[in-house]
Structure 1
């Protein structure tokens, strides 16, 4: 009887602890959701302003951008890896354990995802020029989730292009190089 009570007590004590540590390990494996944790920035012919994008992001947990009628130029939606109130900031040193970025999105057009590295001084991001990037396929009818290995991020998407240095990553640029009127990009999560 005492042995049975000890076994039952052990289950009631250790089961919640195992669940707690299991969820903690899962949370630690997945980094923060940049949609929820970081301010976003916009450039180009979008209907929404930076203020509108971030208001909706905070209220509904989604970043949404719509191209203006007859858009001229590209639309860039930017987010820093380390939170910043400006569209620049210190680069982040991801651990070697980090293998992918996971994105849940909906888009009416193909989007190029640039991973901008930090500058040589480690005080901000590299601006201008070419960057390691990947293509995110259109998903116009529903939200899709993709996991992109860091090893897929190559300079200008060239097979022999330089690999992204995850120990010096500054921000992501979601770029629609050729927006059409009313094209939409919605992002629910960006998890490192």
Structure 2
């Protein structure tokens, strides 16, 4: 009888403990599945595209990306024109497509890169219909300073992307974000850009 009484006395605390464990388990599960906590590494997941006087083609850039986990672009000898390297935010086999609607909790893009020259990073928005990227004109952008000796990682808040890079330029709309353009407007012979990661907080 004494043993039975002791068990009954402990029963409420056991139920409370089990309930707490269940609540913690459910909470952790929702946290893992919440898309606002995801990070997208565009180097790992997406096809990249190239235009301009670069030694590499789209095929060689993506072959190296898949084998070595890095984007590598080298300017041709006596390059004429700008080199434009771009990637969609949502994975696509085309250099165009629907824009991505990032969550309100998304605050930044983090980039790990090495570059012998200044790079302009443009964030291209989608069209009003939401079916593709807007071509022509200027776009919200920021500077990636040259870092020729070593890889550097910078975290860029979305609020830093402004039209034409001007202090009072229109802010980027992260709910209509199509792709990133890494542009070298004045490449010199052998200029090198390497990118290890482009991580978008979603």
**1:102 maps onto 2:110 in alignment:** yes
Shift of 1:180: 0.4
Aligned counterpart in structure 2 of residue 164 of structure 1, from 165, 172, 184: 172
C-alpha offsets along residues 13-67 of structure 1, whole Å, 9 cap, x if unaligned? 9xxx8xx97x959x97351210010000000000000000000000110000000
Task: Report the Cα distance in structure 2 between the residues aligned to 1:112 and 1:141, rounded to whole angstroms.
Answer: 19
Alpha-carbon contact 1:106-1:138 (below 8 Å) kept: yes
Q: Which runs of 4+ in 1 moved over 4 A?
A: none
Larger Rg: 2
Distance in 1 (CA, whole Å) between partners of 2:96 and 2:81 is 22
**How well do the aligned residues superpose, as a CA RMSD in angstroms?**
2.2
Once the 2 structures are TM-superposed, how far is the Cα of residue 120 of structure 1 from its aligned partner?
A: 1.1
For structure 2, the 5+ residue unaligned runs are 1-20
Question: Which residue is equivalent to 2:128?
Answer: 120
Contact 1:124-1:170 within 8 A present in 2 as well: yes
The equivalent residue for 2:162 is 154
Closer/same/farther in 2, CA of residues 166 and 54 from structure 1, 3 Å limit: same
Specify the alignment match of 2:147 in structure 1: 139
2:80 aligned to which of 63, 72, 97:
72
Select the residue among 56, 63, 69 that pairs with 2:71.
63
Q: Distance in 1 between matches of 2:171 and 2:36?
A: 26
Residue of structure 1 equivalent to 2:42 = 34
TM-score by length of 1: 0.86
